[in-house]
Every structure is written in C-alpha cells, then in structure tokens.
C-alpha cells in the first residue's frame, strides 16, 4: 500500500505507469487486469500518492522533464508524510474515490453517486483518482452509466478499473481504457512476503506460497483459514485404503466445505501432480513438507493411474464450476480415484 518501489515483481506495469507519468501522458482511464492479490490496488494507491503528494508538486516533479531526459526508471517517490499522502494512506482523501462491489454486484446507484460527486469541484490541487475494484461485478446498467463518463471524461480525473480479465468487462468499456496486465507472483516472492509481512514460519510460508497460485492475498487467506492442516487431512484420507462407508462419509465432509470445496480439489490435484512429478523433477513438487508421503506414494502408484486421478479431479472441478451437485460430484470422484 505504498509507493511504486513497494510493488513486487510487476516490472512491466510499473514501467508503463512511470513512463506515462514522466511524459505527462496518463490516460484518463486504465484497466488493471490480473488475478487477485498481485498488486493492482497497491499500484492504484501508488499512482494516487504520486499525483497528489504535496512534496512532489512543489518540486514540480510530477510530470518531470519529458522523454529523453534523465534515467528511464523510477520516478521520484511520494513523501508519504504530507497531508494528501497521509490521507490517501489512511483511505480518506476526498479526491481518491473507491467503489467496491456490495455483495457480488456494483449497481447503477453506486455509479450514479460517483458521477454526482465527480460533477463537483475536486478538493485538492492534485488529480482525482477513481478506483472501481472488481469492475466485472458491474451489472449492465452500471456499466452503461460508467460508459457515459468514459465518453466525456471529467477534467483532471483518472479512472482505474481492476478486474481478473478484461474479457469479463463490456468491450465498449475496455476499448476506452488503457489496458495494463499484472502477472501472478512467483511463489518465492509470496513466500518472502509472508515471512516479512505476516510473520509466518519459513515452512508454513513455503507451503501456502506454493498453494496460492501466484496470489499473495490468497496465500494469506489460505493460511488464516487453516489450510495446511486441512490439506494434511485431505491427503491422509485419500491415501488410506478405502472402505465404502468411509468414502461416503468423506464425500459428505468434503461437500460440506461448500465454497472452499474447489480449494480442496486443488489440494488433491497438487498432491497427485507431485507424486507424478517426483520421479522426473523432484525439485518441482509443491508439497515439499510432505516429501516422505510423496516418495512412498510414487513407489506404489503407476504413472497411468496417477494421470487418471488427475483427470478425474480436473473433471470434478469443471462440474463444480458448472454448478453440479457437490455431494454427488465428490462421491463420483472418490470412486474414480479408488478405481484408478
């Protein structure tokens, strides 16, 4: 939540943003696309700081000298100490407006209120920043209302939409925005952030960083929800020789995880992938802390059976995404895993 210098492993987006700032060519609308937890909102905050910091305005450095002069990287950093900086960091600067989904939707009345407030004069001397987080949650009415704003952009205002992928937004909106793509974070980066920012033990940080699929916030929430213990339980259960009754009970327990059920299937998928990968690339396994279990399973399972299990788990994930009955899907999956 600080300056551009604090955002990890997003060289390309930061290079683009700082180049726009240096040339004083910031587009009036940007889409930050990428999975959750990779720095999109932090980049929006960094931009707001940069465009509103009083120290930078006094030094006349906001637009710098223009192309061809000075080093290509790192524009001057916001002071984080003046009043606008402190307000932005505390989340209460009147010219930095943030809209979040309510429930799972951003509704038209939220966009109308935004347009009303943009019709008023800005509070400070800097530039107004509007962040619409998870912009794919706008319903069509809200999207169309926002489109009007994009067609006649208010002066001195920069609109930033964040989303997982631009294909989830109205094409008419995307075509009016500069697109900036954020990449998933390497697991080593997540691991070191978990240790320094969250104080996790090295081994725990290693496990959740590898489970998180490139998202720092997902890593933090997996840890807080106790997923290391849950993963251990799931892997122990699917590795024990089956008894039909126990299998039905396990299917029910898994189905009861509800919205966390896909995470459980990802655990199963990662485990079988590890067992398969172990023979060829032992350094690439995800569940490094379970190495003894993985070695033992690799000795006992044929590659063909592992591939069948991986396919069955992927198929179950697809069915769940298509709203299949969780309990039936789990019963079918467990039967297929045992039969493979």
Residues contributing to the site for Zn ion (CB under 5 A): 53, 55, 78-79, 82, 85
Handedness of CA 320, 324, 325, 329 (dihedral sign): negative
Residue 75 beta carbon to Zn ion: minimum distance, rounded to whole angstroms: 13
Residue 309 beta carbon to Zn ion: minimum distance, rounded to whole angstroms: 55
Residue 52 beta carbon to Zn ion: minimum distance, rounded to whole angstroms: 7
Task: For tokens 């974070």, name the residue.
Answer: 185
Q: Are 136 and 130 in contact (CB under 8 A)?
A: no
Nearer residue to Zn ion within complex by CB, 55 or 248: 55
Q: Are 220 and 190 in contact (CB under 8 A)?
A: no
Nearer residue to Zn ion within complex by CB, 76 or 282: 76
Q: What are phi and psi of 162, to 5 degrees?
A: -110, 145
Nearer residue to Zn ion within complex by CB, 58 or 307: 58
**CB-count burial class (<10 Å; 0-12, 13-18, 19+) for 217:** middle
Residue 57 beta carbon to Zn ion: minimum distance, rounded to whole angstroms: 9
Nearer residue to Zn ion within complex by CB, 78 or 222: 78
Residue 84 beta carbon to Zn ion: minimum distance, rounded to whole angstroms: 6
What does the block give as tokens for 60? 């006349």
Q: Residue 179's closest CA among 12, 1, 4?
A: 12
Nearer residue to Zn ion within complex by CB, 47 or 264: 47
CA distance 260 to 237: 17
């Amino acid at each position: 939540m600080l300056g551009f210098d604090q955002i990890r492993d997003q060289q390309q987006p930061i290079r683009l943003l700082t180049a726009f700032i240096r040339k004083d060519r910031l587009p009036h609308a940007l889409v930050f696309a990428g999975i959750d937890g990779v720095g999109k909102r932090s980049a929006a905050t960094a931009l707001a700081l940069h465009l509103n910091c009083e120290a930078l305005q006094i030094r006349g450095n906001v637009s710098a000298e223009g192309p061809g002069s000075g080093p290509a990287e790192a524009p001057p950093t916001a002071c984080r100490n003046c009043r606008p900086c402190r307000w932005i960091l505390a989340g209460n600067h009147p010219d930095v407006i943030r809209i979040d989904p309510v429930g799972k939707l951003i509704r038209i009345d939220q966009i109308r209120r935004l347009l009303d407030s943009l019709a008023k004069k800005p509070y400070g001397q800097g530039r107004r920043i509007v962040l619409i987080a998870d912009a794919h949650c706008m319903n069509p009415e809200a999207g169309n209302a926002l489109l009007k704003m994009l067609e006649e952009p208010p002066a001195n205002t920069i609109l930033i939409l964040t989303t997982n992928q631009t294909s989830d937004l109205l094409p008419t909106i995307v075509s009016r925005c500069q697109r900036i793509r954020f990449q998933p974070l390497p697991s080593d980066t997540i691991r070191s952030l978990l240790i320094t920012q969250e104080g996790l033990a090295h081994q725990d940080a290693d496990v959740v960083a590898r489970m998180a699929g490139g998202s720092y916030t997902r890593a933090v929430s997996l840890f807080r929800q106790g997923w290391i213990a849950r993963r251990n339980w799931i892997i122990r259960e699917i590795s024990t020789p089956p008894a039909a009754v126990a299998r039905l009970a396990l299917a029910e327990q898994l189905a009861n995880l509800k919205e966390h059920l896909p995470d459980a299937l990802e655990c199963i998928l990662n485990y079988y992938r590890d067992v398969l990968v172990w023979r060829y690339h032992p350094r690439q396994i995800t569940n490094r802390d379970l190495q003894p279990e993985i070695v033992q399973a690799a000795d006992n399972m044929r590659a063909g059976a592992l591939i069948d299990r991986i396919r069955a788990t992927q198929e179950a994930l697809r069915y769940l995404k298509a709203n299949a009955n969780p309990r039936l899907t789990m019963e079918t999956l467990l039967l297929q895993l045992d039969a493979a």
